[in-house]
Amino acid sequence: MASRKSALLFCLLLLGMPCAILSQQPTQSAAVQVADAASKDSTSHTTSLLQERNPRYILQPGDSFDVSFELSPEFNQSLTIQPDGYVTLRGVGDVHVAGETVPQLNQTIRTAYGKVLNDPIISILLKDFEKPYFTVDGQVAKPGKYDLRGGMTVTQALAVAGGTLASAKHSQVLLFRRAGEGWVEARILNVKKMMKEGNLNEDMQIRPGDMVFVPKNVLSKIDRYMPSTNVGTYMRPY
């Protein structure tokens, strides 16, 4: 239990945001432990966020897409989201779209053109966007940001990063996954046990945006040395 508490504290310090540590058994119904649950409503809301799966892609500056108007092709256009999150729509002007999903973007553009067109029918095709990726950090040979191509598990991600170092604590590998606005889900995986027994049933699939962190074998003591503020300065700028 002490090591789990230390891992939870490390998760909070490392990412600087609310976090929940879930069971090591991904197939079982996990009891969510919220670090700073102020009330039942807060806990219920967090549980709902952690249950969110298959999230839609979120548009961000630099992404580009085509907009096609079925009945008004003269408004067809290719757009790139500017650094401030806006795009300039032909005949309409600037509209903020960063942070939206494609369905939300569709509705935003339809609403914007509703001022000049009667119930426009549009389709959107993403052209250039951030490719799926994952990061591996901590006690591995080649920490960094890697493209996620096809199915990949945590042990495979560690292999892509050059394998773990002798100083790694294989029994407490952390998998961080964003679970909603301002929340991160964390799972503790006993990779040492998996590899020793040759049983990879608990070897979780990597999802876009996941971070695998391999701690030192002194993780249980790290809360005595990590500062409570500005922890982000310790992270590698990938």
Tens-place pLDDT, residues 91-107: 999 999 999 999 999 99
* 183 assigned to some structural domain: yes
Would the pLDDT of 23 be above 60?
A: no
Domain span holding position 102? 64-128
Does the pTM of the predicted model rise above 0.75?
no
Same domain as 146, residue 28: yes
- Closest by CA to 30, choosing from 213, 186, 231, is 186
Name the helix (H) or strand (E) containing 211. strand 211-214
238: pLDDT strictly greater than 60: no
Same domain, 146 and 40: yes
Q: Which of 71-85, 161-175, 206-220, 222-236 shows the lowest per-residue confidence on average (mean pLDDT)?
A: 222-236
Query: Structure tokens of 77?
Result: 């256009």
Query: Is the same domain home to 195 and 174?
Result: yes
Q: Which of 75, 106, 128 is the last residue of a domain?
A: 128
Tokens 């401030």 map to which residue?
84
pLDDT at 43 over 80: no
Spatial CB neighbours of 45, under 8 Å, sequence gap ≥ 6: none
Residue with tokens 């989201």: 81
Alpha-carbon gap, residue 64 to 44, rounded angstroms: 37
pLDDT grade, residue 160 (50/70/90)? very high
